[in-house]
Chain A
Amino acid sequence: MASQYKTIHPVKYLRDYLAQDIRPDGREFLRFRSASVNVGAISQADSSAIFKIGSTTVVCGIKAELAAPKADTPNCGYLIPNVELSPLCSPKFRPGPPSDQAQVASKTIDDILINSSALDLTDLCVCIDKLVWVLYCDLICIDYDGSVTDACLGALVAALKSLTLPEVQHNPETGAIVVDTSDRKPFPLKSLPVSTTFAIFDEQLLLADPTDEEESLAKGKLCLVIDGPELCGLYKPGGIPISQELLSKSLEKSKKRADLIRKVIEAAVTN
């Protein structure tokens, strides 16, 4: 009966739950789902990670390639994140070129990494003006159940944290490149940005870590990126206006969550 009711009146179904101070999956309003991370599952990639928040799953694989740098930044490498929202992960997505949503997600992840200055692109330089590393970070969502930005960032950061790059010998005169794959050095990551998503409903009701169902019915979305004591992103693309108190409340919650996620990632990488 409940499932028919949900299909016919999705908004009312959710509202009935919220009126009882509980969410459809049994969580309290400000409770997050459990997160888990697995590092190094894909042996073909230079580093990889699988990040799960509840049933939302994102797989990240990083492939490092050598290329010539841009002329205006001769000592900087490249980091190219690409979020793929395949038709497998949700009925919302269709096969074909990347949707607007996927493009915006890729852009957000790229922005967050640049803003947090978690990685120094000059560390990717092998030989100035001649040779740099390009990190292709493919983020593939295989289960889309809300808070995908959080999962993408988690997967990417975990993969970057466990990334090792082989030693490269480059002869600038002859242009000969010798890659020694047996001697790999860990890539330095300066910080660990963690993003947290909130859904906002009528009358300033805040739901932490929304599922897809909650996200699609929400009146607004708020995404906070915390990095240590500082913030490196506050994204709220429209939606219902929020008060100052709500912002402070979400800030406080996301700080606690960021500490937890950071521990989870660090534990997974050291093991």
Chain B
Amino acid sequence: MQNQLETTEEEECVLRPMNCELNQLSRPDGSAMFMQGDTVVVAGVYGPIEAKLQKMMHDRATVETMFSPAKGPPCVDDRAKETVIRETCEAVLLTALHPGMAISINVQELQDSGGLLACAINAACLALIISSISMKFTVAAVSCMIDRESGKLIVDPDSTQIQQARVTFTYVFEGIKKDLVSCHTTGRFSENELMESLEKCRAASQNIFDFYRNIVEQYAIKL
């Protein structure tokens, strides 16, 4: 009986507990420290600021992203993460409002225990919200995996679960119609597995959007 109770509880609460501190840093226009389970990331947004001459675009703002790992200099893996974060934020921002300017998004990893990319995107989105820069929509990133042995789909796995993963997916959804903004996968999977994981993550993304709403409301009262 005890066991049964635990499993149902596990299924209901699909995402790891989230926690967030907004505007902890004084210099950025918006900053967020976002925790998903034990994965912790700090994101800071400056913008619109003056663009470097060589990166300046005459019709819209350039989006610069910097992803710094917890230790060591950024490597090729981090470049790939940076690209996903940048292109996702570019989709989110109304860059045409600030021609010739730059928006700089800086993400610092503090601790990784699974779902780092998803956590980084969520932190960046919260930082953008709190910096009150114009956005088309908000985004929520959800990671999930399929277990190697049981073939079970686990949403928002932690680092111990990920070691048993056959496939991992990271999806980013937009807040209006829940359409897919970004997607990153590792491992081999079938079409059905893709569709199933997409549906589950789409449902789970609602929790993140609700969390955004709550946290922003809390901070709005403080102001």
Contact = CB atoms under 8 A, between A and B. Distances in A.
Interface of A: 100, 103-104, 106-108, 111, 114-117, 220, 227, 229-244, 247, 251
Contacts of B82: 100
Contact of A230 (B87, B90, B189): B189
A247 B80 contact: no
Contacts of A231: 185, 188-191, 194
A238 B190 contact: no
Interface residues of B, number: 33
Interface string B68-88: 000000001101101110111
Contacts, number: 92
Contacts of A220: 91
Given A115-B188, A227-B188, A234 B80 contact: no
Interface string B149-182: 0000000000000000000010011100101111
Shortest beta-carbon contacts, A-B, top 6? A238-B87, A241-B179, A238-B88, A237-B87, A236-B183, A238-B91
Contacts of A103: 76, 79-80
B188 to A, nearest CB: 5
B184 to A, nearest CB: 6
Contacts of B19: none
Given A100-B79, A103-B80, A229-B190, 19 more contacts: A104-B80, A107-B76, A107-B79, A115-B185, A115-B186, A116-B188, A117-B188, A227-B188, A231-B188, A231-B191, A234-B185, A235-B183, A235-B184, A236-B182, A237-B182, A238-B86, A238-B90, A238-B182, A243-B177
Contacts of A116: 188
